Structure 1
Amino acid sequence: MVSFFVHRPPEEVAPAIWRALRTYLRAIPPGALGWYVSEEGEMAPLDDTGWENVRQHLLESPWNGVGAIELWESPSEAGSYHFEYYGRRINDPVFKDPITSVSFTFPTEYLVERGTAHLRTLALELARELPFSFGYASPAIISPQGLFGMGDWSAIEALMARYLGLDAYHTREFSSVIGTHALGAYWLTFLGQPLLGQLGGVEALRQALPDTSLLPLEDERLLITLGEWPDAIDTEKAAVPSPYRALASLLSPCLFEYTGDLNGFERLMNQWHKRLCP
C-alpha cells in the first residue's frame, strides 16, 4: 500500500492527483478497478460515465478536488486494488487538523511477481508531482475506508501484535486529523515540507542514518528506503530491524497522536504508531 498526505489546498493538487491515478491505472491490470462510491454514497459501476464523474470531481467546479473519491475492485469485499482520495481544506472547521490524502493498494502477488525495484520506481512516479508532507509504502491489511475494524477483530489484533511491519491504514480518518505529522517508519518513507524541515533537513537525517538509503527529491523532499524488501517484522522470528528502530526514533517527536478523552480506536492507534520506537 502506498499513501501520501499533502498539506496544500485540494484545488492546487487535484491535477497532480489525477495524473497519479492515471499512472496507477497503467500499472495495474485493466479493469482491476470496477466500482466507485457515487455522490449519493452508493456503489456504482466504474464505466465511462463513472470515470467522467471521477474526473469532474477532481478537476472541475464546483468540487475542485474537495471531498472523497473511493474506487474499488469489488463492491462486496476488500479485494486487492483500491484508490482512496480525500480532499480536505486545510482550515476546514469540521475537522481537527485536515490534510489532503491519497492511497493506492496492491496485492502481495503484485510485489512478488514484479519485484521491489518495480514497486519502488512506481511509488516514486506516483510521488513525483505531489507536494507531500509525509508518505509511505508498506505491507498492509487491505482495509479501504478503514474497514479492518469490521472484520474478525481477534484475528486482526493477533496479526498486528505479531507483525509490526504491517500497516493498519485508515486514510479517511487520518486525513482529517494528521496535519503535518508522521505516522511512523515504513519500508519506503517519504518526507516533504514542512515535516522534513522540522527534522533538520536531508543532511541531518543523512548523519543520523548513515547506513540507510536516502534519496533527495526535487522541491525539498526525501525518500528513505529501509532495506531491499519490505519487512513485515515477524516478532516471533526476529527483533525489530535496527534501521526501523533508528528512523522511528528520529520521527517520534513528529508522530501523530490522539489527545483528550480517547476512545478504543484512538488508544489503539496511539500505541500502534509508537510500536517501533525504542
Structure 2
Amino acid sequence: MRKAIPVIRIPSMRSDVEVRDGVILCFFMRCSHGDVASAMWRALQAYRRAISPNALNWYGADDGDTLPLDDKGWEHIRERMLERPWAGAARHVSLAEATGEAGGYHFNYDGRQLEHPLHWRKKGATSAVSFSFPTEYLLEHGPAHLRALALELGRELPFSFGYASLAFVSHPGLWHGVRKQLVGLLERYPGLDLYLLSETGNVIGTGARGAYWMTFLGPPLLNQLGGQEALREQLCFPEVTFEPMERERLLLTLGEWPEAMDTEKGPPPAQYRALARLLEPYLCEEGGLWPPMTREYMHHWLRRLCR
C-alpha cells in the first residue's frame, strides 16, 4: 500500500521538513467552546492514548513561545481547555511532535465563542479540531484501526461535518512559506488534503468541505442531503460503507484504504465523484490574499472532484 501513497517531504531553507505526507482527521461543530470543552478534552485523551507516549512533545504557550509538553504543560493545557474563563472570541490549543519541522503528530483546536461580537454575525463560524498522523501510523496499524479511532473521536463531538483523508501535514504556521511548492502536488494528487483548520472553521458553518475517505455527516447537513436512506440509494457502490452514529449522524467510508488519486495513473474513483457532486451545493468558500491559494484557486480546488 505504501506504493500507492506518495512520500512527501518539502524542506525549508534550513533543511527542516516543513510539509510531509500523513493523515488528517478534522471535525467542525457549530457550537461554542463552553459547550464542547469537556467532550474535546476526552477526545484529546483518546488521541493521546492511541499514539506513542512521546508523539506530542511541544505546545504553543499563551505568549506565542513553544514549550516542552511535560506534566506541567499538560496541566496548563487542561486548565486552558476546561477551567480558564473566557478572555476573548477564541481559544487556541496547538500540540506538536516536533518544533521547527512538520513532524507527523499534531493536535490543533480552535474553540470559538459564537456569542462574541466577532462571531455572532458570522453564519460560518464553528469550533474546529484536527488530529494528524504520519502515514507510517496508518501502514503499521491498518485502516480498520484508524477508522475505529476516528469513530471513537467522532462519537465525543457534536459535529455537523468531519473527515479523514491523506493529507499534506504541517504546522499551521508553516503553510505560507511552502505554498508555491504545493500547487503541482495538489494538482497531481487530488486525494491529498490541504487542510486550513482556522480558515475552514471560520466559514464552513453547517456546510461541507468535500468528499473524503471518511466523511462524517451530522445535523443539519445529513437531513439536507435526504438522510441515510437517500444516500444509500445514491451511493450504491460496493466500496462504500455506512456507519450510523448516535444523534442522527453518519460515517461514510469510501473504500478500505484512502486514495491519493494520482492523476498520472487514472481518474479519481467514481464513489468520490458521486459524493462530491451531492455535497457541492453545501461546499464552503475559502481562500485569502496569499497567492497562489487565492479565493478563486481554493474555490476550484475544493470542487476538484465534482468535475
TM interval, shorter chain, is over 0.9
Tell whether the 8 Å contact from 1:88 to 1:175 is kept in structure 2 after alignment: no
Tell whether the 8 Å contact from 1:83 to 1:105 is kept in structure 2 after alignment: yes
Instruction: Tell me what 2:38 maps to.
Output: 15
Question: How far did residue 33 of structure 1 move?
Answer: 0.6
Instruction: Tell me what 2:297 maps to.
Output: 268
Question: How far did residue 246 of structure 1 move?
Answer: 0.2
Question: How far did residue 61 of structure 1 move?
Answer: 3.2
What's the TM-score, normalizing by structure 2?
A: 0.86
Question: How far did residue 262 of structure 1 move?
Answer: 6.8
Mean CA deviation greater in 162-171 or 41-50: 41-50
Stretches (4+) displaced over 3 A: 63-66, 261-264
Match of 1:204 among 214, 223, 230: 230
Q: How does 1:145-156 map to 2 (within 5 A)?
A: 145=172, 147-151=174-178, 153-156=179-182
Match of 1:111 among 119, 128, 138: 138
Instruction: Tell me what 2:114 maps to.
Output: 90
Instruction: Tell me what 1:44 maps to.
Output: 67
Taking a change above 3 Å as real, the CA distance of residues 276 and 91 of structure 1, as seen in their structure-2 partners, is: farther
Q: Deviations over 1:117-155 (max 9, x none)?
A: 00000100111111100000000000232633312x443
Match of 1:220 among 209, 228, 248: 248
Tell whether the 8 Å contact from 1:143 to 1:170 is kept in structure 2 after alignment: no
Structure (1/2) with the larger strand percentage: 2
Question: How far did residue 94 of structure 1 move?
Answer: 2.4
Give secondary structure in 1 for the equivalent of 2:81. helix
Question: How far did residue 27 of structure 1 move?
Answer: 0.8
Question: How far did residue 76 of structure 1 move?
Answer: 0.8
Amino acid in structure 2 at the alignment position of 1:94: L
Distance in structure 2 (CA, Å) of the matches to 1:247 and 1:254: 12
Amino acid in structure 1 at the alignment position of 2:36: V
Distance in structure 2 (CA, Å) of the matches to 1:26 and 1:67: 23
Tell whether the 8 Å contact from 2:101 to 2:171 is kept in structure 1 after alignment: no
Match of 1:191 among 204, 214, 217: 217
Instruction: Tell me what 2:160 maps to.
Output: 133
Match of 1:230 among 253, 258, 261: 258
Instruction: Tell me what 1:180 maps to.
Output: 206
Distance in structure 2 (CA, Å) of the matches to 1:53 and 1:185: 36
Aligned-residue identity in percent: 53
Distance in structure 2 (CA, Å) of the matches to 1:266 and 1:143: 21
Tell whether the 8 Å contact from 2:199 to 2:286 is kept in structure 1 after alignment: no
What's the TM-score, normalizing by structure 1?
A: 0.94
Instruction: Tell me what 1:250 maps to.
Output: 278
Tell whether the 8 Å contact from 1:72 to 1:81 is kept in structure 2 after alignment: yes
Give secondary structure in 2 for the equivalent of 1:132. coil
Distance in structure 1 (CA, Å) of the matches to 2:290 and 2:136: 36
Distance in structure 2 (CA, Å) of the matches to 1:66 and 1:174: 14
User: Please, which runs of 5 or more residues in structure 1 have no aligned partner?
Assistant: none
Tell whether the 8 Å contact from 1:92 to 1:98 is kept in structure 2 after alignment: no
Tell whether the 8 Å contact from 1:2 to 1:138 is kept in structure 2 after alignment: yes
Question: How far did residue 77 of structure 1 move?
Answer: 0.7
Amino acid in structure 2 at the alignment position of 1:229: W
Match of 2:94 among 70, 74, 83: 70
Mean CA deviation greater in 101-110 or 192-201: 192-201
Taking a change above 3 Å as real, the CA distance of residues 225 and 126 of structure 1, as seen in their structure-2 partners, is: same
Q: Alignment length, in residue pairs?
A: 276
Give secondary structure in 1 for the equivalent of 2:55. coil
Give secondary structure in 2 for the equivalent of 1:102. strand
Distance in structure 2 (CA, Å) of the matches to 1:174 and 1:163: 20
Question: How far did residue 238 of structure 1 move?
Answer: 0.9
Distance in structure 2 (CA, Å) of the matches to 1:190 and 1:5: 10
Give secondary structure in 1 for the equivalent of 2:156. coil
